[in-house]
Amino acid sequence: MESKQEKSMSIVMVPYLAHGHVSPFYEFAKKLSNKGFHIYFCSTPICLEPIRNNNNHFDNHQIKLIDLQLPSSFHQQLPPHYHSTKNLPHHLMNTLLAAFDASKPAFSDILKTLRPELVIYDGFQPWAAEAARELNIEAVLFITGVQSQKIPKVTECNKEQMDCFFKNSVNGMTPIQRFLKCVTSSSGHMVLIKSSTEIQAKFGKPEDVFGDVVPVGPLVQRPLDHDGDEKIMDWLNKKEASSVVFVSFGSENFLSQEEIEEMAHGLELSNVDFIWVVRFEGEINNVKKTIHEALPQGFLERIQIQGKGLIIDWAPQVKILAHTSSGGFVSHCGWNSTLEAMMYGVPIIAIPLQFDQPLNANLVVDMGVAIEVPARREKKITRQEVAKAIKTVVVEEQGKEVRRRAKEWSENWKKKEDEEFHVAVEKLLQLVQQSKK
């Protein structure tokens, strides 16, 4: 039974300005609103635009979208369409983070107006917890990736990652310093994490700096209808159960030209039906021409004649993974994509590209729901390894156990996700109630 406190409590949520953070924060917001909480979802207009454009958002009147304006002093370098990491030129990443830091006064004004009882913030903005504390509002960190509970060691990082984690300083803080400050600023030593108790047990004990690590479940969205889905779903509906491999590397990860060619040849060699989301860094317009140029000569014509493949530049990922025809997922192993595959029982062909993705790939391989294309660890993809991995997971007898484990995890999660979320909700309620005493 829901308490009166549960029905009246208001929360401001403020994710980092990346789709991989906004998306799980919004799924978390939807689940909290379904429990009776009043949610104010705060981000830049460009980050909120996809939510506003999605008619399903307006089915939930408990969530109010709040525009956070980055300071106008940054607009010449960073116009509003760049107030998100998506399509942001790499050299402006630090500028975006500096502008986000400088939005603390605007965020404080939002808190003064709304007067919520709780702020849920992300791991890159310790200023959000500071702004809340200055107004005597509790603030709790929400971690969107399970690997974040392990502080990376220099020996575990390649040079690119080492520079990012330990050397790339903005406003006097490296990413590691920002993250640790966010952890230690979280009220009640509580840290929420997008994970499950089973994964936490598999992954092991978090670092000592973490207090009470509370899983909120996988927070995987349910399949929704979008404009333009019909062609994709009609194509899938004609395929046999568990016969199609879905290939996607997320919205902010990109294969090199050589890797695109090897992936294309690997898909053909596998002889498995496929849907492949092909994206290019910084590419917004004229995508069709670019795809023709990037793919091997004659590839598009062959797969079209054979009906073996579908090349697209955007996909309703969850809807595809939930479809009965999906039998494998070639993925970079971003945490959101990994959990979506596990929730819908689709085994993973792991090709991690950067940051936490190799660690995520190790985890799901260890859990028995994935195999990894090994050559990518040497910074290359080979068509032979791609074809072998796809055939193993989708078709061959030796992949039977991976397919079985993926289905088993899916069934277990669907039974337990509400229980885990209920525990997290109760802990949040207790935190706020105790603060009022």
The length of the chain, given as a count of residues:
437
Contact 143, 194 (CB under 8 A): yes
208 is catalytic: no
Question: Counting Cβ atoms within 10 Å, is residue 283 exposed (0-12), middle (13-18) or buried (19+)?
Answer: middle
Which three-class secondary structure string do you get for 147-205?
HHHCCCCHHHCCHHHHHHHHHCCECCECHHHHHHHHHHHCHHHEEEECCCHHHHHHHCC
| Spatial distance between the Cα atoms of 145 and 381, rounded to a whole number of angstroms | 25
Catalytic residue among 21, 83, 265, 323: 21
- The DSSP line for 375-407 is GGGGT---HHHHHHHHHHHHTSGGGHHHHHHHH
Which residue do the tokens 């003064």 mark? 112
Sequence-ordered list of residues with C-beta below 8 angstroms from that of 25, at least 6 positions apart, any chain: 13, 15, 41, 120, 122, 142, 144
Rounded Cα distance between 70 and 429, Å, is 31
| Inter-residue contact 365 to 350 (CB < 8 Å) | yes
Q: Are 233 and 319 in contact (CB under 8 A)?
A: yes
Catalytic residue among 38, 101, 122, 356: 122
CB-CB contact of 370 with 348 (8 Å):
yes
Among this protein's residues, is 21 annotated catalytic? yes
Taking the C-alpha atoms of residue 146 and residue 381, their distance in angstroms, rounded to an integer, is 26
Which residues belong to the active site? 21, 122
